[in-house]
Structure 1
Amino acid sequence: MEIEKVVLRKMKMRLKKPFKVSFAVIKERDFIVAEVYSGNYVGYGDCSALPFPFYNEETNQTAWHILKDYLIPILFEKRTIDHPEEINKLFSHIRRNQMAKSALDCAVWDLYAKESNMSLWKALGGERLQVETGVSIGIQQTPNDLLRVIEGHLEEGYRRVKVKIKPGQDFSYLEEVRKQFGNIMLMADANSAYSLKDIELLKQLDDLNLLMIEQPLAHDDIVDHAKLQKEMKTRICLDESIHSVEDAKKAIELGSTKTINIKVARVGGLTEAKKIHNLCADHNIPVWCGGMLDTGISRAHNIAVATLPNFKFPGDIPASNRYWEKDFVSPEVVINQNSMIEVPKGQGIGFQPISSLYEEFTYEKKEFVR
């Protein structure tokens, strides 16, 4: 592949309902889409950075700067690219900024698959024709509010439910869910809201037979998570702590986790996501695919990576209508009554932007030519 042009778009979409996590309430999503051109083909990638540096250090504005002033010039320095895995090495001397890197890494993977006349999931080595998905539910005002929201999603076909928690809105909420809905696949996501001082409270969660608890302790910690995992029966899942295969290796060696949430954006793209998947498979650590209130483009990349064989738990890959009144890609992603999504069979990601909506949601565009 010879990369001839890159286009960056700043886009904005309003959520159907505000989404509350332990550190913020999100009402709309600003994001960046990268288009990478070679010959008659274009690959699409999505930068999932939030507007504030509360999940990780990146924001939409910092990602735009890193893409424009560093990553795209580095990409153009390489005359030809034989395989997308080269992107990871090209960007290796740029510290962190994983979500900015992911936008280009994913776009080049999509481009490569299209030029190779194959689906992205096949290019990655995926094996599944369907991927199982779950639903992620933000923090609700009361347990009854939570029960109503869960009931609606179960009726839509979702079987695995992830509930965001924080101190004061945790055990009692989850306990009510267990009483109401019995043995559903239930997990909790703390988004780093606790510390080891809360160990007795966290150990109470063992009584609820949760699938896992995600990132209970600090966003950059793997040491205290190892201490906590020794005290808990419930498997601990690491999210924010894992930015690379090296992070995953250290966490596994310390015993900090029994499963890892692989978010393509958080780890810098599909290349690093696959490395983490392979490492975990070698150590019998199952993984699953997380999300970032995704648009259709990032959702497409998540579907593709979730076809790899060690993705053992349902991912946060919801239907197109979960967060948005209208998404800008076609076809729509739907889930069946078994909580499954069909893997697209077309070239590359298998989805295309709907031009009218694509332009409607774009509020700034910049073109870069080699």
Structure 2
Amino acid sequence: MKIDKIKLQRLKMPLKAPFETSFGKVVERDIILVRAFGGGEVGIGESVAMPFPVYNEETTGTVFYILDEFLIPKLMDIEIQHPDEISSMFSSIRRNNMAKAVLEMAIWDLYSKQTGQSLSSAIGGTRDEIEVGVSIGIEPTVEKLVEKVEGFIEEGYRKIKVKIKPSWDIKPLSAIRNRFGDSIPLMADANSAYTLKDLNLLKQLEQFNLMMIEQPLAHDDIIDHAKLQSVLTTPLCLDESIHSVEDARKAIEIGACKIINIKVGRVGGITESKKIHDLCEEQNIPVWCGGMLEAGVGRAHNIALASLRNFTIPGDTSASNRYFEEDIIFPEVKLMKPGYIKVPTQSGFGFDLNEGLISKLVYLEKEYKLCSKLSKKY
């Protein structure tokens, strides 16, 4: 495939309201957009890294550095015929998965446009609509949380995910169940806030009939999660612990989880996401697509990923207006009907860029000419 030029843009995008988890509060998205130019088309990807290394070791700054110093220069040395080759091409560079993912996303989008197919079709998607849920951060009061849950239920979201941490767990979950009963699909996301010393407390979460408890223990653990899963009926879902298909294989083999959350940025790209999806399907492990407060570009890539067959649990890909007053794409992501988003059928990721807003938010740009060393074959 033909790639002539890569362009990086870094921009800051304010959230409508602060979003708080067990590891801190986010008030704006610090985003890197990667554009890949070739054959008269432009592919686009969005980095999900945060400006501080709390979700994982990467930051927006390290992603920009790794792209600039290592990943983009590698494109000058190796011919590419298909985006699936990118992950092996970057295998000599350890981790830095979010940096790898955003460049690979742009190339996948470019490939789908050059071949005249939607991104969903290009990666093997089978759905024309996806079920979606919503993620709710730690709120100032239980009353405020319950109010937000009620609003999202009225909008028809198919899954309610609430963030928990020590001292913010039993009370909020109890309030939600007392107000809405067991009929709403509810899950709790701990973002690694507990240890096995909290076993008695974690056992108390069983009373709430949760769909799952997401990543309750350490961000790099599967051993203790296996111990915890063995004494819980509620399924455990792994997020931060899974960075590759090999991580997923090992976690499944030792019984560390019954569900896996796949995030393109965390695992290094769409190709690795597909491998994890396929493994989980073979092992009867359901998967869903997690969110990282993405703007419209990242949100669109998540929609395409969630169109794969084994994404049987509603993901976190809510509408654009959940987080932003104005999004960087046209049209903005909206619910086509309560709890569902349409999978785009036009070529590429399926939306136009809101260039006017992007130009207002960008504060750093850099371009790279790649020229003739890349294969021009599909």
TM-score by length of 1: 0.98
Query: Is the CA contact (8 Å cut-off) linking 2:330 and 2:352 kept in structure 1?
Result: yes
Q: How high is the sequence identity, in percent, across the aligned residues?
A: 56
Deviation at 1:290, TM superposition (A): 0.3
Give 1:101's aligned residue. Answer: 100
Output the amino acid matched with 1:295.
A
In structure 2, how many angstroms separate the alpha carbons of the residues matched to 1:337 and 1:369? 43
User: How far did residue 302 of structure 1 move?
Assistant: 0.3
Q: Indicate the residue corresponding to 1:18 in structure 2.
A: 18
Q: Aligned partners of 1:105, 1:337: CA distance in 2, in Å?
A: 31
Alignment partner, residue 373 of structure 2: none
Counterpart CA distance in 2 for 1:250 and 1:13 is 37
AA in 2 matched with 1:20: E
Q: Partner of 1:301 in structure 2?
A: 301
Q: 2:131 touches 2:158 (CA, 8 Å); kept in 1?
A: no
Q: Distance in 2 between matches of 1:184 and 1:7?
A: 44
Q: Which whole-Å CA distance do the structure 2 matches of 1:257 and 1:74 have between them?
A: 36
**Larger relative contact order (Cα-Cα within 8 Å, sequence gap ≥ 6):** 2
Q: Contact 1:217–1:225 at 8 Å: present in 2 too? A: yes
Contact 1:259/1:287 (8 A) holds in 2 = yes
SS in 2 for 1:197: helix
| Matching residue of 1:49 | 49
* Structure 1 equivalent of residue 333 of structure 2: 333
Measured in 2, the distance between the counterparts of 1:229 and 1:76 equals 46
Opposite residue 331 of structure 2, the aligned amino acid is: P
| Aligned counterpart, 2:226 | 226
CA distance in 1, matches of 2:219, 2:252: 16
User: 1:280-312, CA deviations, whole angstroms, 9 ceiling, x for partnerless residues?
Assistant: 001000000001000111111100010101001
> What is the CA–CA distance in structure 1 between the aligned matches of 2:3 and 2:345, rounded to whole Å?
25
Q: CA deviation at 1:337?
A: 4.1
- The match for 1:265 is 265
Equivalent residues in 2 for 1:202-217 (5 A)?
A: 202-217=202-217
Describe the SS at the equivalent of 1:37.
strand
Residues 65-102 of structure 1 deviation map (CA, whole Å, 9 limit, x = unaligned): 000000000012123x2110000111011000000000
The answer as to whether partners of 2:39 and 2:114 remain within 8 angstroms in 1 is no
Q: In the alignment, what sits opposite 2:376?
A: none
CA distance in 2, matches of 1:128, 1:361: 34
AA at the equivalent of 1:360: K
- Which residue does 2:172 correspond to in 1? 173
Q: Please show how residues 117-266 of structure 1 align to structure 2 within 5 Å.
A: 117-182=116-181, 183-266=183-266
Moved over 3 A (4+): none
Paired residue secondary structure (1:312): coil
Deviation of residue 354 (structure 1)?
A: 1.4
CA distance in 1, matches of 2:85, 2:178: 50
Q: Deviation at 1:267?
A: 0.5
Partner of 1:320: 320
Give the Cα separation in 2 of the matches to 1:360 and 1:155.
34
C-alpha separation between the residues in 2 aligned to 1:286 and 1:47?
25
| Superposition CA RMSD, Å | 0.8
- Contact 2:45-2:106 within 8 A present in 1 as well: yes
1:333-352 mapped onto 2 (5 Å cutoff): 333-352=333-352
What is the aligned length?
369
| Residue 39 of structure 1: how far off its partner (Å) | 1.8
SS of residue paired to 1:113: helix
Cα distance in structure 2, aligned partners of 1:70 and 1:2: 20
Whole-Å Cα distance in 2 between the matches of residues 4 and 213 of structure 1? 45
**Alpha-carbon distance in structure 1 between the residues aligned to 2:41 and 2:218:** 42
Q: Structure 1: which 5+ residue stretches go unaligned?
A: none
Which whole-Å deviations, capped at 9, do the CAs of 1:238-291 have from their partners, x for residues lacking one? Answer: 000000001101100110010000001110110000000000001000000001
For the residue of structure 1 that corresponds to 2:177, the secondary structure is helix
Asked if the contact 1:3/1:76 (under 8 Å) is kept, the reply is no
Q: Which amino acid counterpart does residue 142 of structure 1 have in structure 2? A: T
Say which SS state the counterpart of residue 267 (structure 2) adopts.
Answer: coil
